[in-house]
């Protein structure tokens, strides 16, 4: 019943969400790496 060893599902969710959001920032930054340059201001 315990998810990731956490007693509360909300805590398990936020543990995963924190990791995923950081990875999401990496993916977003990678995808947008060359977009929004000077000429597209």
Partner 1 sequence: MNFAVLIPILLVYMSIMSLLAYYGYKKTVTESDYLVGGRNIHPAIMALSYGATFISTSAIVGFGGVSAAHGFSLLWLAFLNIVLGIFVAFAIFGTKIRKLSLDLNATTFPTLLGKRYDSKFITVFSGAMIFILMPAYTSIVLIGGGRFLQESLSMNFNLALILLAAIIGIYVVTGGIKAVMYTDAFGAVVMLIGMAIFLFVTYQAVGGIMEGHDGLTAMKNLVPQVLVDQGHQGWTSMPEFGSPLWWTIVSTIIMGVGIGVLAQPQLAMRCMTVKDDRALYRSVLVGGVFIFFMTGAAFVIGPLSNLYFYEKTGEIALTAAKGNVDLIIPIFINQIMPEWFIYLFTLTLLSATISTISSLIHVQATAFGQDILKTLGVKSLFGSKLNPSRIGVLIGVIAAVILAYLLPAGIIAQATAFWFGICAAGFMPALIGALYWKRATKTAATASMIVGFSVSIIGFLFIHLKESAAIGLSQAWFGKAAIFPFPWTHIDPLFYALPLSSAVFIIVSLLDKRTSFTQKKEKEPIISAVSK
**Contact status, residue 9 vs residue 3, Cβ threshold 8 Å:** yes
Cα–Cα distance, 17 to 35 (Å, whole number) = 26
Q: How far is the CB of 1 from partner 1 (least distance, A)?
A: 11
Q: In the window 1-41, what residues touch partner 1 (CB under 8 A)?
A: 2, 4-8, 10-11, 14-15, 17-19, 21-22, 24-26, 28-30, 32-38, 40-41
- Backbone torsion region of residue 4, taken as left when φ is above 0, otherwise alpha when ψ lies between -120 and 50, otherwise beta: left
**Residue ranges in contact with partner 1 by CB under 8 A:** 2, 4-8, 10-11, 14-15, 17-19, 21-22, 24-26, 28-30, 32-38, 40-41
């Amino acid at each position: 019943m315990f998810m990731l060893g956490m007693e509360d599902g909300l805590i398990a969710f936020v543990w995963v969400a924190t990791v995923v959001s950081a990875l999401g920032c990496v993916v977003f930054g990678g995808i947008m790496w060359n977009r929004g340059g000077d000429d597209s201001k």
